A and B are shown apart, each in its own frame.
Chain A
Amino acid sequence: MSTAGAPRLSRRIGEGAFLTFCWVATGIAILALAAILWSLLSQGIAGLDLDIFTKSTPAPGSEGGLLNAILGSLMMCVVAMVGAVFIGVLAGTWLSEYARDSHYGKVVRFLNDVLLSAPSILVGLFVYTILVAPLKGFSGLAGSVALALLAAPVITRTTEDVLRLQPVALREASVALGAPVWRTILAVIWKSAQGGMLTGALLAFARISGETAPLLFTALNNQFLSLDMTKPTANLPVVIFNFALSAYDDWRRLAWAGALLIAATVLTVTVVARILAREPRRS
């Protein structure tokens, strides 16, 4: 690096190869997304009409939409995200601010990674064992618990990662001004790290919004519209799963439309949240 001036040839080749690779890598990702979205659009757009939002899931051959599934998924995801953000942000904060090098902190950090990798179907089975079987009934709330258990470790992980990156000087400055630690965390550290924390929450939401396996044994599904979360609750992923593999064209159309809807929702939430956060982007 000490040789100033024009880079040597080998360096230029290395640089060129590296830059090309970065471009190609991004190109591959965009191409994959475009291919998947194209499939979604070409198959899903046909089923996407007003009925989707105004009618419940039909039997084969009848007219219908996805209203019950959309509402059920919204209710469960919102409840799950509220719980997961609460647990995940606090746990991530604890790991970053209070337990950086403690043994217990290391154990929690490591086991959180394990929990992160838990196959969602096993989380569903666990919630079935502790909630559904003893209470003798499937419920939307049980589904929310399962989803929250999947989302919380993601949020914990990302929260800790971004909080750790905040400069020590920031904390010192706040504490030196006489602010108690909790105020420092809430008003300074969290504030400064909000972009990364938001990304974590969005990743978590993206992860749970399409999960089928944990809902199959907890929320089950519901053919009809029901806002009672103590009863089996309709949801998009299970509907998509059932309909996509069915023999009937109208069901398959709804499945693709539902999949398109989930992808569109994740996109919208991502964009809306970025605008809401209105963070000054560092470059």
Chain B
Amino acid sequence: MTAAADVPSPAAASPPRSAFGAAFDKGFEILCFAAATFLLAALGGIVVSLAIGGWPAFQAFGLNFFVSAEWDPVQEIYGAAGAVTGTLVTAALALLFALPLSFGIAIFLVELCPPVLRRPIGTAVELLAGIPSIVYGMWGLFVFAPWFAKYIQMPIMMSAQPGSLWEKITAGVPNGAGILSASIILAIMILPFIAATLRELLLSIPAQVRESAYGLGSTTFEVVRKVSIPYVRTGAIGAVMLGLGRALGETMAVTFIIGNSHGFPTSIFASGSTIASTIANEFAEATEQLHSASLIALGLVLFVITFAVLALARLLIGRQANL
């Protein structure tokens, strides 16, 4: 810790300046408070403007908007269930892939990596976050999807027994576009967010704590499992939130590769849609008032989902932490 050397010189603590400092203390607290409240106000503003914009859709369809997967712009019948399912499935799969990988990467960077490579590899992982999402979309469509179709999707589909459940789960158009490919691309996109935060957290563990565990003869695995993970667990929630948040709301990359069909996805290779991809696809061209209102209402639903998912995650992890 270098900070001890940076503590203000004793002069700063002399009575007159201290009095001024104390007066400024309140001011600084208010400034910080105002910044936090500003964020709250921004969120409030977004939600209110969505609620106003989406109101005609809720009025027209009522509860049906949430349970129906019908999406028919010509007949003007809209239901959110298909897009909601797609959003939850892709985000959950993406997190399932990305979380263990991120942990592996963070631990690799902190515990295993040769010091010379630590910085380049760390930067490389961060760079994954800097690639524009449209590039992920184009790369996903033109490079990843054909590869995925040829080496993963086709073999799996061929291996399925006709009529088996496995065949149903793996049915789809063999061009690599669908729910699973979208989830994998999403996982790559959220990975750097989770890994970079986890790495900072692991670095913050006082060296003595880990070293004493090693000194007792623990293996790296045991140190990570019994010392590091418990130490950073609370902070790790934040890392997961960052990733999950990005996965739920990611638009452009998903739109390119999910295959974009409305209704419930029927298999892991099937086309689907997410809330964000539906909005991105249709908002610009939606001229009928009910159509754009339904899209805005979808946006509000996404906020509610995010709210619910985050609340649930917090509850689960919070409970664990208390054990």
Contacts and interface: CB of A to CB of B under 8 A. Distances in A.
A contacts B directly in the complex (CB < 8 Å)? Answer: yes
Given A40-B135, A180-B24, A240-B132, A187 B8 contact: yes
Interface string A37-52: 0011000000000000
Interface size classification for chain B: 35 or more
A40 B130 CA distance: 13
A86 B22 CA distance: 22
Nearest to B20: A180
A177 B8 contact: yes
B96 to A, nearest CB: 14
Given A117-B306, A123-B46, A91 B39 contact: yes
B242 A116 contact: yes
Contacts of B244: 117
B138 to A, nearest CB: 6
Interface residues of A, number: 118
B266 interface: no
Contact of B108 (A25, A130, A179, A267): A25
A21 interface: yes
A165 B204 contact: yes
A192 B1 CA distance: 8
Nearest to A14: B221
Contacts of B14: 178
Interface in A234-283: 237, 240-241, 244, 259, 262-263, 265-267, 270-271, 274, 280, 282-283
Interface in A105-163: 105, 107-108, 110-123, 125-126, 129-130, 149, 152-154, 156-158, 160-162
A110 B311 contact: yes
A162 B204 contact: yes
Contacts of A89: 35
Contact of B100 (A25, A191, A213): A25
The binding surface of chain A is classed by DSSP as helix
A87 B123 contact: no
A228 interface: no
A212 B108 contact: no
B121 A270 contact: no
Contacts of B115: 283
Interface in B121-152: 121, 123-136, 138-139, 142-144
Interface in B272-323: 275-276, 279-280, 283-284, 296, 299, 302-303, 306-307, 310-311, 314
B28 A185 contact: yes
B107 interface: yes
A225 interface: no
A244 B138 contact: yes
A130 B32 contact: no
Given A182-B28, A206-B130, A267-B127, A19 B201 contact: no
A35 interface: yes
A126 B241 CA distance: 23
B73 interface: no
B230 interface: no
B123 A114 contact: no
Contact of B105 (A12, A25, A112, A113): A25
B36 A91 contact: yes
Given A33-B124, A121-B280, A270-B130, A179 B13 contact: yes
Given A22-B112, A29-B124, A165-B201, A178 B18 contact: yes
Contact of A90 (B24, B31, B112, B144): B31
Given A25-B100, A87-B35, A119 B275 contact: yes
Interface centre among B36, B246, B248 (most CB of A within 10 A): B36
A158 to B, nearest CB: 7
Contact of A121 (B217, B235, B251): B251
Given A156-B39, A161-B235, 11 more contacts: A19-B221, A25-B102, A26-B105, A40-B131, A90-B36, A99-B33, A179-B21, A180-B18, A182-B25, A203-B192, A259-B134
* Top-7 shortest CB links A-B: A178-B13, A210-B132, A25-B104, A266-B130, A180-B21, A117-B245, A94-B32
27 contacts: A1-B218, A21-B104, A23-B104, A26-B104, A26-B113, A36-B135, A91-B35, A111-B39, A115-B42, A117-B241, A117-B245, A117-B249, A119-B251, A122-B46, A125-B296, A149-B42, A161-B200, A164-B234, A165-B201, A178-B12, A179-B13, A206-B130, A263-B131, A270-B123, A270-B126, A270-B127, A274-B123
Interface of B: 1-4, 6-8, 10, 12-14, 18, 21-22, 24-25, 27-29, 31-40, 42-43, 45-46, 49-50, 53, 100-105, 107-109, 111-113, 115, 119, 121, 123-136, 138-139, 142-144, 188, 191-193, 195-197, 200-201, 203-204, 207, 213, 216-222, 224, 226, 234-235, 238, 241-242, 244-246, 248-252, 275-276, 279-280, 283-284, 296, 299, 302-303, 306-307, 310-311, 314
